[in-house]
Amino acid sequence: MKLKILIISADFSYKDEFQKASLQRSIIVEYAKTMAEAIDLLIKTEYCLVIIRADTVDYLSSLNAMSEIRQMPILVISYKEQSYNAVAIKNGTQILIITPYSMDYLAEACAAMARYYANIKNQKNYTAPTVYIYKYLLLIAETHQVFYKETKLRLTKKEFDLLKYFMANKGATLTYEQIHNNVWGYNHMYESTNLLHSLVHRVRQKLPKDLDNGNSITSVWEVGYKFGADNSTYV
């Protein structure tokens, strides 16, 4: 059985050599140049191992969120080993830091880790979580977790439900009625409209100020709300 691993690196000069060594061990390798690309792939595809080329990618801001999306080992390749040891301990995720001596050596280590994870995973009922992403904001539906870069946001259940609905419909204008029905489950016109305005205000206060300069949630006069800045690129 062939297993999939993901490599995150801005430098793919070693790609052909590593690909050949991996295929000899029944390992399929896929690639991402940025952490944003990698997170998108992780949501869609299940990998048995993620490899990060630490000296070519700024991975720290996305590491915690990545480990929440998929419970798999993360292998950080570093040629400055001592400077990255503290990072692995700090993030508390499954991270091993190695300095590869050859592509064959690296492929063998990756194959061993991938097979071990696959064997463990098959013994459990594992379901991929539902994840919503907007820029560096990441929401995991099943675990009720929200991350912004390295920060975990603290939201009440209603605040979380509102943000999840916004992120699931980013870029769309949502009417008051739609939001009422989704967050509260019924349309309680006057009182719930006041509750909605208050809830939106609290979520705005908790979202990071550097996300769209504090304008991620905008009011649409006499209609409802919209999530996502007009000039933003939706992920």
Question: pLDDT tens track of the chain, all 235 residues?
Answer: 678 999 999 888 878 888 888 888 888 999 999 888 998 898 888 888 888 887 788 877 777 777 777 777 787 776 664 444 444 433 434 455 555 557 776 787 778 778 877 777 666 555 556 778 787 788 888 778 888 865 788 999 999 999 999 999 999 999 998 999 899 886 555 556 788 999 999 999 999 998 888 899 999 998 999 998 654 333 3
Q: How far apart are CA 29 and CA 47, in angstroms?
A: 9
> Which CATH architecture does the domain made up of 131-227 adopt?
Orthogonal Bundle (1.10)
Contact 197, 222 (CB under 8 A): no
Beta-carbon count within 10 A of 178 CB: 16
186's tokens: 């019924």
Residue 39, number of CB atoms within 10 A of its CB: 22
What is the location of CATH 3.40.50.2300 in the chain? 3-121
> CATH number of 3-121: 3.30.9.10, 3.40.190.80, 3.40.50.2300, 4.10.80.40?
3.40.50.2300
pLDDT value at residue 103: 78
Strands (E), the chain: 3-8, 27-32, 49-53, 74-77, 95-98, 131-134, 137-140, 145-148, 151-153, 173-175, 217-220, 224-227
Sequence ranges of the chain with CATH classification 1.10.10.10? 131-227
**pLDDT at residue 168, rounded to an integer:** 93
